C-alpha cells in the first residue's frame, strides 16, 4: 500500500520511520530543508532500546507524485491548512487520510476539503521530541496507533490500512470507537497541557507544591465535565488514567505544549485548549482553570519571538 507521511517530526518521523524500517512502502512529504537533513543523516530515532538510523524516501510539495493509497497526517494544527494545499496531487478516488492531529476540529476541515469518505479518525500516543540536529527522540516506551472510520462501521479499505500501519515495533490497531478515543486523548492532552503550562512546571513539581494536587484534580474534573456535556463522556478507565497521571508524585512528566513553550516555539493552544474552552462556553460548563490557561497561552502566542523547535506527544 503506497503510504505518504506528511511530516517527519517527532510523531511522523517515529511512526513513519519504524514502518519504513519494517519494509513498508513509505514516503515522507517534507520541506526542502528537512529533506536535505534526512538525505545527509538518515532518519535517526533515539529510543529507550537504542538508536536506529533509517534510510527514508522523501518528496517535497513541488514534486509530489500521486495518487497515494494512504496518507498519514502528522503535522501540528497550525500546519494543517498548508498541508491540505500541498496534498492535492497525492489524492486519489480511494485514498484514506489518517490524521494524527490533536483535538477534534481538524476532522471538519479535512472532510470539507476531501470528503467524508476519505477521512478516518486517528490517535497516536507517544512522548517524543526532536533534537537540534533533527533526530527523533522517543522519551518513553509508549508508542501506540489507533485508527478507523469515523462512524465505526465497516470499510473495505480498513484491512489494507491496518496492514500498512502494522508490523513495526509499535502497537497498531484499528478501532471501532475512534471518535471516543480521540475525545479521551484530547481531554488528557488538554488537562496535562493546562497543568504544566499554567504552572510552568512538571507534573511532579506541581504535585509537590502546596495546593498542587487540588489544582491538578480540578483541571481534570473540568476537562471531563466539558467532554461529558459535549456528548462524549470519557470512560471510567480513561478518567482513572487521567487523574492518576496528573496527581503523580516525583515524576518529570510534561506536555508537548510545555516543551514547546520552554523552547520558544509555537504551541497548539487554540486546537487543544481554546477549542475545549469554546465547548465549555457553548454548554455552559464552568471551567475557570482551563479558561485561565487559555488566556495565558494566548498571551504567550501573541508575545512569542519566532525561535525554537517544536515537540510532539
76 is catalytic: no
CA-CA-CA-CA torsion for 268, 270, 276, 278, nearest 10 degrees?
Answer: 180
**Bridge partner list, 98:** 72
Beta strands 3-6 and 26-29 are: parallel
* DSSP3 helix / strand / coil % (the chain, rounded to 5): 50, 20, 30
Report yes or no: 30 and 7 within 8 Å, Cβ to Cβ: yes
Nearest one of 195, 237, 221 to 280, comparing CA atoms: 221
Give the cell for residue 54.
533509517
d(CA 45, CA 47) in angstroms, rounded, equals 6
C-beta neighbour count of 115 within 10 angstroms: 13
Q: How far is CA 92 from the centre of its chain?
A: 25
Which is the catalytic residue, given 185, 232, 259, 279? 185
Element (H, E) at 64: none
Q: Is 282 left (phi over 0), alpha (psi -120 to 50) or beta?
A: alpha
Residues with catalytic annotation? 185
Amino acid at each position: 500500500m503506497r503510504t505518504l507521511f506528511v511530516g517527519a517530526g517527532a510523531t511522523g518521523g517515529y511512526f513513519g520511520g519504524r514502518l519504513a524500517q519494517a519494509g513498508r512502502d513509505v514516503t515522507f512529504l517534507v520541506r526542502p530543508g528537512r529533506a536535505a537533513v534526512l538525505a545527509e543523516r538518515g532518519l535517526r530515532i533515539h529510543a529507550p532500546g537504542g538508536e536506529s538510523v533509517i534510510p527514508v524516501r522523501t518528496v517535497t510539495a513541488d514534486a509530489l507524485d500521486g495518487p497515494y493509497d494512504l496518507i498519514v497526517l502528522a503535522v501540528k494544527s497550525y500546519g494543517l491548512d498548508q498541508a491540505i494545499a500541498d496534498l492535492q496531487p497525492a489524492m486519489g478516488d480511494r485514498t484514506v487520510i489518517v490524521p494524527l492531529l490533536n483535538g477534534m476540529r481538524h476532522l471538519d476541515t479535512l472532510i470539507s476539503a476531501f470528503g467524508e469518505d476519505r477521512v478516518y479518525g486517528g490517535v497516536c500516543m507517544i512522548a517524543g521530541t526532536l533534537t537540534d540536529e533533527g533526530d527523533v527522540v522517543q522519551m518513553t516506551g509508549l508508542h501506540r496507533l489507533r485508527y478507523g472510520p469515523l462512524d465505526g462501521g465497516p470499510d473495505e479499505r480498513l484491512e489494507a490500512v491496518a496492514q500498512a500501519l502494522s508490523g513495526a515495533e509499535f502497537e497498531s490497531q484499528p478501532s471501532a470507537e475512534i471518535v471516543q478515543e480521540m475525545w479521551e486523548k484530547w481531554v488528557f492532552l488538554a488537562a496535562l497541557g493546562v497543568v504544566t503550562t499554567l504552572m510552568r512546571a512538571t507534573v511532579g513539581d506541581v504535585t509537590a507544591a502546596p495546593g498542587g494536587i487540588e489544582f491538578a484534580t480540578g483541571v481534570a474534573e473540568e476537562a471531563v465535565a466539558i467532554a461529558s456535556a459535549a456528548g462524549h463522556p470519557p470512560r471510567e478507565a480513561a478518567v482513572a488514567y487521567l487523574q492518576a497521571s496528573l496527581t503523580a508524585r516525583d515524576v518529570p512528566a510534561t506536555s508537548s505544549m510545555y516543551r514547546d513553550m520552554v523552547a520558544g516555539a509555537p504551541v497548539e493552544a487554540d486546537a487543544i485548549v481554546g477549542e475545549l474552552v469554546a465547548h465549555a462556553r457553548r454548554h455552559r460548563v464552568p471551567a475557570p482553570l482551563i479558561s485561565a490557561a487559555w488566556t495565558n497561552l494566548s498571551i504567550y502566542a501573541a508575545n512569542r519571538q519566532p525561535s525554537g523547535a517544536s515537540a510532539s506527544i
